Structure 1
Amino acid sequence: MADLKRLTGKIHILLTAAVLMVLLPAVSSQAQIPGKVRVGIITSNTGSAYRNAASITFSVKGNYQIVDLAAIPGDEVIGTPAEGEQWQVYYLPSGVQVYKNGEAQKITTGAVMVREVTHSSDNRVLLSGYANLEDAGTNLGKWYRGNMEFRNSGSAVTAINDLPMDEYLYGVVPREMSNSWPLEALKAQAIAARTYTVANYNKRIVEGFNVLDTPSDQAYGGFNSEGANAAKAVNETSEKIIVYNERPISAVYHSTSGGHTEDNENVWGTDPVPYLRGKPDPYSAVHGYANWTFTASLDEVRNRVIQAGQQIGPISSFKLDKFPSGRVDSVMITDINGNTITMTGTRFGQMFNPSFYTYISSSNFMSRFFDVRTDQVTKPSYSVLNGSGQQASVEGTKLYGVSEDGAAAILNQTSAEFYAVDANSTSAYNKSATGMVVFEGHGWGHGVGMSQWGAYEMAQQGKNHLDILAFYYTGVQVTDDYDG
């Protein structure tokens, strides 16, 4: 699982004691990894940024033909697009229909491919935009290398970018790391991204492609996102992947661990993976969102819990159950009446920041790596008169009312208020403590595998890409001799 490109902001150098590293051997030979990748750009998958296209508009730059892949006995050329021509593919219940500059060209039951006549770095396909099945059109304006295939997914038109592996990585690496970052960090990212692609090559094969272009797999921006430094990192690590026991690893990565990476089973509930072991990570203690603070009132927390479908009275305390890394496994919330509910650390944090991506700043809830404390808490108290007319002070966490027959009951047991009636009106009084809850947290992302900001800091300290990968993936080897 990949994270979005991290905002660099102002860089502060992390000064820390040197960490002893085990260098990974790079094996020299010719690798056997997939030569091409099929990337879902516009699909019906809920993980796609662009979905459910009724029609897609495109144009080209360079040497292309548009072919009908369903033609018998072989591919039939529908047309040779020229620069400046606008082409469209429309969804039909039985297939797709191709238009050029608004004029119908062909109806086919099969896929249509905008295919390079000869492969060239100068060739591009522009996806101008698409009309969604549910709403108005969406402008894209994105250029892609290689080929572009359009097919009927059963309910819409799917657009699939088919291109060489390294050219795909040209559009991944600068989306996952800033193109301005140190070359060795970019090389580590290139190898991790290539390895992820190889290990997950058949993940979405039933949908007609290998990976999506979003963080559901890896963020990929096509030609628009490319950068010279990132391309250099890809080229200088071409064919290299990370293996464990001679098999490609699931090279997951995240923005910043906040000072400690995590065991995979603590995040996804899967079996422990030997190369995805959590460990102290001093390289991720400063940059990015290594530290964040989120503040809310006790009432706001209670309201969010209720909105999440849980019943709880006015909150009196929190208890955190943590993994050894410091990330929160579960949060137990107790109300003023002693009732408790328990939520996972992830579910609790995402009440305030869905998926930890909706709000991105150091003042938002960015991960489940946090501590909690209450601040400026005021406990209400009230004065009452006893039978002799003497005044006494009581706290308002549990207040009892007595009826005419002498029966006692807690006033508004699940409410933060109780009500008193005098001769003139009814008044509401706060019976629970008021104040703020401060969540002091660390890191952004799931915390498993490579920390991208940690890789940045390691490169700043003179570590190379093999050092970085050895630190974040336990017991692995980098090789260009993978034979599948």
Structure 2
Amino acid sequence: MCGGVLLGSGASALNVRVLVASAPQLTVRVAAPAPATGALNVPGPPATTPLPVQAWTVGAAGAQLTLNGQSTGSATLYLPPSAGSAVEIAGKTYRGGVQLRAEKGGVQGINVVDLEDYLRGVVPAEMPASWPAAAVQAQAVIARTYVTARINPATPFDTCATDACQVYGGVAAEKPQADAAIAATRAQVVAFGGKPASTFFSSDNGGFTASSGEVWGKDLPYLPAKADPFTAGGPRARWQLEVPLTRVQEAAGNAGVRVGALRGVTVTRVSESGRPLEITFVGATGSGKLTGANAGGFVRALGAPATRVTLSGLNPLVLTGSGSGHGVGLSQYGALGLANAGYSHLHVLGFYYPGTQLATLTADAGEQRPALGVQAALPTPALTPTPVWGSAPQDVVAAGRGATP
């Protein structure tokens, strides 16, 4: 999987490779015991006694890596994970091991980590761990599903550590409540057609989920547009934004609208979920339109946290909207509402990914490829919510994860 080095004893049957850093050079620190001979290409016999923390500065010279200024003669270096191992990469501590790659004159630091340990650094970075267990458990399952679908030994790494993929904070992000949710749902993934489903999610769908088709132009049967009575109480449940005409004109021009000085901007067609599918621009030299995902892109370019909006006025252009994020799939504030109403994490998943199944994750230890075991239909909740809201919930960390399908 990584430079031909076998996984150490005690490692999981399924690891994830996460790109966590990329720079001209990286500092890697490893706690005792020292790695076995050949790991990180460090010369000398295997250590027989624990050694103090060791640090290596890894750089690149052409297509090869350097270690503390000396050429390694290799484009990759690999320290395999072992039971309880941890590594510091560019100042952040991660469980597992590390692979280093020369890439375009720099170094990529890739954390190689057990799937369940990886989730410990993801789930609390995506949802407050203090939320009800059912909500956090649902987040754990969709996070596991998201990364499972991306494990591919033929690529340099499986996923990244930023919101372009899933936020992964390593050891510093871990929380006991999130650890408990991960353990309670161990190996559970959402499946469709015998494969991991595309478990997109956002912070707050504004009371109506968006379909994958209207946002990305790709319809998936389990990501439809539908009313969501469970999403309520979020800090951006209702909002208004005033945008000066100069910024509106600039955003329209950047989107390819060429109509001269703007005289009107109007939503002329909406999707089933109430999001603009067509925006018409009238200007001094003519008129133009933005449709589909381009219409939503224009709204986001104006600084809107979501695209479930109405437009009025012109200078300023007033956006009145609801929600935060793309609105496809699970709504985190909806998961909170379902959990407060007494529903389990399975009901949360069944509501936001209708027609999917709960599956058990297994792996081919030889190929490091995930496979799905026994599957069962997910339950769906009643459509009349009975949430019990306590104190105002903490805002979620992410506005909308999985920005592209």
Query: Is the structural similarity TM-score above 0.5?
Result: yes
Once the two structures are superposed, residues 247-283 of structure 1 have per-residue CA deviations (whole angstroms, 9 ceiling, x without a partner) of 221111111111111111111112x211111210122
Residue 67 to residue 318, structure 1, CA distance change in 2 (3 Å): farther
Deviation (angstroms), 1:110:
3.9
Residue 245 to residue 76, structure 1, CA distance change in 2 (3 Å): farther
Matched-pair identity in %:
29
1:357-436 aligned within 5 A: 365-374=304-313, 435-436=315-316
- With structure 2 as the length reference, what TM-score do the two structures score? 0.78
CA–CA distance in structure 2, aligned partners of residues 197 and 288 of structure 1: 28
Residue 79 to residue 314, structure 1, CA distance change in 2 (3 Å): farther
What residue is the counterpart of 2:176 in the other structure?
Answer: 228
Deviation (angstroms), 1:309:
5.2
**Correspondence for 2:78 among 95, 113, 123:** 113
> Tell me, what secondary structure is at the counterpart of 2:221?
coil
Q: Is the 8 A contact 1:371 1:439 kept in 2?
A: yes
2:325 matches 1:445: yes
Residue 366 to residue 95, structure 1, CA distance change in 2 (3 Å): same
Q: Is the 8 A contact 1:174 1:226 kept in 2?
A: yes
Deviation (angstroms), 1:436:
2.9
2:65 matches 1:96: yes
1:151-190 aligned within 5 A: 151-190=101-140
2:171 matches 1:201: no
Deviation (angstroms), 1:77:
6.2
Residue 191 to residue 34, structure 1, CA distance change in 2 (3 Å): farther
Deviation (angstroms), 1:220:
0.8
2:16 matches 1:37: yes
What residue is the counterpart of 1:293 in the other structure?
Answer: 240
Q: Is the 8 A contact 2:243 2:316 kept in 1?
A: yes
CA–CA distance in structure 2, aligned partners of residues 317 and 113 of structure 1: 59
CA–CA distance in structure 2, aligned partners of residues 276 and 307 of structure 1: 30
What residue is the counterpart of 1:467 in the other structure?
Answer: 347
What residue is the counterpart of 1:216 in the other structure?
Answer: 164
Once the two structures are superposed, residues 14-57 of structure 1 have per-residue CA deviations (whole angstroms, 9 ceiling, x without a partner) of xxxxxxxxxxxxxxxxxxx9611111112xxxxxxxx3x22111
1:123-142 aligned within 5 A: 123-127=85-89, 129=90, 141-142=91-92
CA–CA distance in structure 2, aligned partners of residues 67 and 323 of structure 1: 60
Which ranges in structure 1 are unaligned for 5 or more consecutive residues? 1-32, 43-50, 130-140, 354-364, 375-433
Deviation (angstroms), 1:192:
0.5
Q: Which has the higher contact order (CA 8 A, sep 6+)?
A: 1
Deviation (angstroms), 1:160:
0.7
What residue is the counterpart of 2:249 in the other structure?
Answer: 302
Residue 176 to residue 152, structure 1, CA distance change in 2 (3 Å): same
CA–CA distance in structure 1, aligned partners of residues 277 and 32 of structure 2: 54
CA–CA distance in structure 2, aligned partners of residues 54 and 338 of structure 1: 50
Deviation (angstroms), 1:300:
4.0
Once the two structures are superposed, residues 361-407 of structure 1 have per-residue CA deviations (whole angstroms, 9 ceiling, x without a partner) of xxxx1122100122xxxxxxxxxxxxxxxxxxxxxxxxxxxxxxxxx
RMSD (CA atoms): 2.6
Aligned residue type for 2:25: S
- With structure 1 as the length reference, what TM-score do the two structures score? 0.66
1:297-376 aligned within 5 A: 297-306=244-253, 310-320=257-267, 321-335=269-283, 337=284, 339-343=286-290, 344-353=294-303, 365-374=304-313
CA–CA distance in structure 2, aligned partners of residues 219 and 162 of structure 1: 16
What residue is the counterpart of 1:242 in the other structure?
Answer: 190
Q: Is the 8 A contact 1:243 1:476 kept in 2?
A: yes
CA–CA distance in structure 2, aligned partners of residues 180 and 228 of structure 1: 9
Q: Is the 8 A contact 2:232 2:337 kept in 1?
A: no
Once the two structures are superposed, residues 302-326 of structure 1 have per-residue CA deviations (whole angstroms, 9 ceiling, x without a partner) of 3443465543344332221211100
Residue 206 to residue 323, structure 1, CA distance change in 2 (3 Å): same
> Tell me, what secondary structure is at the counterpart of 1:185?
helix
What residue is the counterpart of 1:415 in the other structure?
Answer: none
Deviation (angstroms), 1:79:
7.5
Deviation (angstroms), 1:94:
3.6
What residue is the counterpart of 2:95 in the other structure?
Answer: 145
Q: Is the 8 A contact 1:67 1:114 kept in 2?
A: no
Deviation (angstroms), 1:185:
0.6
Deviation (angstroms), 1:95:
1.2
Deviation (angstroms), 1:298:
3.5
Q: Is the 8 A contact 2:137 2:185 kept in 1?
A: yes
Deviation (angstroms), 1:154:
4.3
CA–CA distance in structure 2, aligned partners of residues 481 and 150 of structure 1: 28
When Rg is computed on C-alpha atoms for both structures, the one with the higher figure is 1
Residue 245 to residue 107, structure 1, CA distance change in 2 (3 Å): closer
Which ranges in structure 2 are unaligned for 5 or more consecutive residues? 1-11, 363-370, 373-405
